[in-house]
Structure 1
Amino acid sequence: MNCFLLVFFLLLAFAAQSQSLSDIQNLKVDDLSDAQIEQLIKRAESNGLTTSQLTALARERGMPAMEAVKLSKRISELQMKVNSSKQIQEGGRGRTVTGFEEVDMFDSIRRSDPYYDLTVKQKKIFGYKLFHNRELNFNPSLNIPTPQSYVIGSGDQLLLDVYGASQQSYDLNVTPEGRVFIPNVGPVQVGGSTIGAATSRIQTALGRIYSGLTGSNPNTFIQLRLGNIRSIKVSMVGELTKPGTYTLPSFATVFNGLYAAGGPNENGAFRKIQVYRDSRLVATVDIYEFLSKGDQRSNITLQDNDVVIVPPVETRVEIIGPVRREGLFEVKPNESLGDLYVYTGGFTSLAYKDRVTIRRIEDNQRKVVDVPSSEFSSFTLLDGDEILIGEALERFSNRVQVEGAVNRPGEYSLEDKGLTVKTLLEKAEGLKPEAFATRATLYRTSADLTLAAEPLDLKGILEGTRQDVPLKNEDLLFVPSRYDVKEEYYVKISGEINYPGTYPFASEMTVGDLIIRSGGLLESATNSSIEIARRVRDSSTGRIAEIKTLTIDPNLELTDEERNQQLQPFDHVFIRRSPGFEREQIVTIQGEVTYPGEFAIASANERISDVVKRAGGMTQFAYPKGASLIRRTIYFQDLTDEEKRINELKEIRDNLDPDFKRKNNEAEETLFDRVDKKIADYDIELQIKKQEAAVQKLSDSSLALDSIRLDSALNAVRMKKQDYVGIDLVKIMGNPGGEDDLILMEGDIIRIPKELQTVRMVGEVLLPTTTRYYNNRGLKHYISKAGGFTENARKSKTYVVYANGDAKSTRNLLGLKFYPRLEPGAEIVVPVKPERERLSAAGWIGLASSLATLGILIERLLP
């Protein structure tokens, strides 16, 4: 009992220690289970610490560096399990209900790992997991035939059946005195007897009333079986996880009792578990025999008041290295190193089996013992021995390799009769057609493990004109490809072509072949003045490239000129734009004209007045003074020719789409499929370009920006895509072609409003508003309509923006202000005064100090 209390308080102290942060420096990480690491993490989080801060705290409070590294590793492993389990759950999760999600992040791995509560050391002890696996159940089966060896005791229920010439059934309960009472017979002593012995006694007793039970030719028979079985009390003491007295079914065995008590603890023996009955040793149980051989002969059935004692382990060794089962193993005094390998499952294929190394503590110091394989069966192990098993060398004794341009590269066996380069190539099923057979390299490993290279003429060896070379162990024959020893040949094409880019070179390729390969010429391309830029291999002349020009047939038929100028590797072909080819350019006229809308620019010098005339002229409601021109700036990003072409193809596809339009004929269906494929190919290419641009943008984001780009407000103004251009449509229409009549550009928008009758006031006025225009009224009149200037108004910088986009500011002359003249549709803008930073107390002190210093300096300089 004292031993039990001691273990109990030690466990409590250990559990408290594993969850405490105040004594974290004294923790032994290998003695903590995953459950205790979890409690440590939760305690840290409740104190506002992250896991990295927890490790840092442990180091600050004196935890050894090795223990801190172990702690960090254990926390990382546990978090990795949590994250992987969480991802698996989320991957298969369907609908969820708010408020019913899993709260405990460790719960999933706690359920999946049956050994979650075990420490690292406990997991290493062979046999320890047997009694801690939640998926394993040692409860005795009660649905088995009545064993004839079962010992009857007080509390058992015996069911007695009489059959044959006579029929009768009896329900008998065993009394505390060990007797059963049979009607018309009396008490029969069965306690302490087996089922077989009790059957004989009851048969003799029943023979007095059933004559057919006895004699040489009986005609009446009996059967005795167990009904409800009794419970027994067994004391489980010693080095157990949960020692105590347990109530078990009478069918329970030693293993059932051990499972109920949690099995041996870290210090408990697994091979010398003793069962005492009536103060006598009746069995010694070896759990290893059960785990390795399935032998349960010593796993006897327990009886009432049995005592199971688990003594401390006497000899425990650790096996480290390539065996089937590493860990801590208990050894009996008469067992050798060879016997131990039965429990480890034997060596793995990587193990070095000729010798093992034993680390041993002897004479208060450590020593190393080498044990050859011949002494495995006789070498005696001591407590605390560490058995280190080495691995086989990463070397081959009979290997040659062939790599490169052969049909079957790889590793081959160096046969006893020898192997040559020629026979190795025959095993590799010969050279590939592209093999560079005149020069291969045989790499050899010297005796001192240095590398040597030997050039070979494989063509001569295969033809017999060169002497064959015998191979040695670890030789590597490398057969290069002719493509490995020269640059990849290619040609490039750019300009007015459907798919410009780089293409593989082919012998006897012409410009026409490359044009067909790259999707054909665009409508804007010219078939003449095609340039070919060719690399210059002799730089002594100072030429960088050799330029050749040619003309091809418009229908891409092969001409003599094209045939005589075949392409060479690395040529760059430039397809020029046809002279005079121009895409249509569109301008828009809006407002008070007879035919507003879009107009194509007819000539390069078409002006505003020309388009107004083509639009039918201005209506009677037009206000020409308020007309304005909106023009694209250099920051306007128009669609490229390729994008415009794709958009046109998309319109064709949409108009041919059978899902939304009428049914197509065969020609239209073919066109639809062809256009749809081109658009799909373009979309794939565009996606790749976007990904590359995103990567480049991320790279450029780290570069320093100039001050203008850092000012977002200024940047927005500076990089506008469209600007208002002030025009005077009255002068333009009165003098067509004059200096006010601007030449139109693509994307221009001409706006001609109706007659305007208002003036708008914005900015630093008391009531920003819009009022009716009054002829011959000045700016101050309209300011008064808005309630006047505010206190923060900068009156001298007031300016007017006219309906056509022009602006005029207030002028100052000899202290007098001359405000701009107002017109219908104008907007008066009153800016705010700039904020002036007030001088702080420190600034005033600094200023006074500077003035004082200046005064002293002047005084000294004056005579």
Structure 2
Amino acid sequence: MKIATITWTLLFSALISYTASAANFSAAQIAQFKQLPQAEQQALAKQYGVDLSSLTGGSDASQKTPAQSTIEPRKLDTAPAKASEPQTNSNGLIDFGYDLFASQPSSYTPVDDLPVPNNYLIAPGDEIDIQLFGSQNQSYQLDVGRDGAVQFPQLGPIHVAGQTFKELKANLTHRIKKQILGVDLSISLGSLRTMQVYVTGDVYQPGAYNIPSLATVTQALIAAGGFRKTGSLRTIVIRRNHKVIDRLDLYDLLLEGKTNHDIRLESGDTVFVGAKGASASISGQVRRPAVYEIKPGETLGRLLKDAGGSSAAAYLQQVEIKRFQADGVHVITADLSRAKGRDLVLKDGDSIRIHRVSDQLQNVVMIRGAVTRQGAYAFHQGMKISDLFTNASDDLLPNTDQNYALLVREIDPEHHIKVLQFNLGDAIRSPLGKQNLTLQDNDQLFVFADALNVKAWEEPSAKPLVNQHAAANSNDATNAVTINPDSGVQVVNDKKPQPHFLDHSGNQQEAAGPDSRQNLLQPILQRLQQQAVNGEPLQEYVISGSVPYPGTYPLVEGATLKDAVAAAGGLLESAAKDEAELTRSVVMPGKISLYHQRFDLVKTLTGQAPDFALQSKDRIEIQRKTNWTVDNTVEIQGEVNHPGIYTIGKGESIADLVARAGGLTQYAYPQGAIFSRAILRAQEQQRMKMLADNLRQEIASLALRRQTTSAQYTTSPTDALKVVDDLNSVPAMGRLVINLPKILRGNENDDVSLENGDKLYIPPKRNTISVMGQVQLASNFTFDPSKSVQQYIDMAGGEKKQADDERIYVIRANGAVMLPNQSYWFARSSKPLQPGDTIIVPINTDYLDGLSTLSTATQIMYQLGVAWKAVK
């Protein structure tokens, strides 16, 4: 063989300069090359850049026998079945199993590296690899010819076709060892033949396909592009020599992994896919909802198994089956928890739906509110509140209100509730006491936070989950309010005003926090309102007055006045404990009468007077002590001896305040005193907003007139809108015009009683006159009693073109407005100009197209400007 190698080396050297194509080698040369060891073949081919497969002519199965080109992979059709088909499902279910084949490449995968089984039949086109070692070291790659024989050097033709691979190895080993002494050998198969099979029926593209000799039925189906929507996965027939040799049900392969009927094909075999048979759909709480093909006699239990079984949330006691019959669609209910239901025989077109079990938690009690751990807790008989709260410091939040808690209990299948009230602190501290209520299954506890401290202890609260009970009996779903055992309560469309609270100074505050009374009571109250039908009384009451949390509360079972006071957070210091009032609604034929009763609050709460039970719609008014004031303060600034903030009592006046502040200094100008009040400030701000809105409407009308007429106007609406913007930007003062000199002289008619938040400013004397408005240059001038209003206006450059000289007015230092006339008014000695006065020259509203609101707006702005100027 070394000589042959040298010869081939020389031959390659000569030919490579001309071409590297195998076509330049003769058949004898190629045969001689094949007799070289495979390692030497590969080395020579690599050295001279020759394609080894082109010389051996069979090392690559794909080159040896070109396969028929197959179709391109197709996209998976996941669309639901047509409406005309009986297996149609309105939920958009796809047919089970078809995606496995439609999503795979249709061209076959080479199988040269797969192990060859011992029962593989040798046939023409196969390649046999023989390795000799011992007295000879040779490698041979022998092709099985069309006559079924291989040409073995030194031994001649050997017939091998029709033998199994096991028989081939035994026969060749026996003959070679017999004729060539001192050798051992190894036999394997190289490239395998391709074979032609037929795939027909309801496949994507029927026809003849060249597939590997080791291919099975499923590989032939993949080569054909899979199934049509009308093809059956359960009726696949394999024919050989005009006889049926096997049948394949792909559900065995897809659902159980059985491959015993996925047999290897032989050349000339036919794979036939029949039309799709009866089918049934299954949806809902199953693992694999889909449309399944069913065989005659198949049961509901078998279909459920094919669908992967039911999910954990499946309700098997009432499974819905829709079945087509001659007179329409009938509904059948089956119990899959029993053998009778599982043995129900299916029919073509059946639609099965397995519903979900109820979301209602069973055997639980719920806690919501100001606790460390909200949620569901397992219930057991004899369970009490103290079993849920073993340690107050660990189980409750620092701001928990331990004096008031509620237990909500459902009392009938319609989920009507009753409410019980208890003292949480007593229930924890005294497990044997009556406040430690015995619980029932599905009870819910509501623990409230002290709203005064909620912001200091903002603990995360569980978000409401889906309602446990749907409002099945409510025609308006938006008004449905239900209690959720997973989270407590969910409220929809609440419109009832809820409790607010007063701080300890008696000032009303806004409730806050997820665990406050406002948030937790809201759904309970609306649930009680829904129950008040068909003559049932509304189970709620109202408590107001000097309590921390006035508002509407649920009427608990056996509620008394003490319970109401505890619910409202107790009594404030301002409460008149010797007197309170109960208002009760008395239902009479066709009307309701109100009954009022006064009672001694302290005696009733302490047991000196009999306590009384509350009834539906009771109203309790906890009255405030006479003349009760706490921290009512006023402020005095400016030219007084002791300016500052002073606490006042009922009936104190401006004169009293000035006296307490040490009187006026020698520099004070009492004629210009500015007095402001909070309630007036709010009214003034509202008035300014109203004026701004009216002015905007007039400007809009002006713009419309300009578009519809040919009239000419001197000013655009844009300029007028600037006045509106100025009006909105000016802060309200809430000024009350006072005559401080008369007040200090003891004129009681001019004096004013003080209120909380009042402010008094006494400016220093300013010997000035101000001119503002539509003048050439707004300025301040030194006061000269001999000068008139017109002279001061002339000193400011005179009026502008848009000035309204007929409506000039003077704002006194104390805020009073003095309107002039044209008959020497300013020359009268009774009304001369005074230091600190401001002369206003307003804008001519006719100049701005007759905007009637503008004069009022500018007047307010000027007055405010003068006041602020005096303060500053």
What interval of TM-score do these two structures reach, taking the shorter chain for normalisation? 0.3 to 0.5
TM-score normalised by structure 2 residue count: 0.47
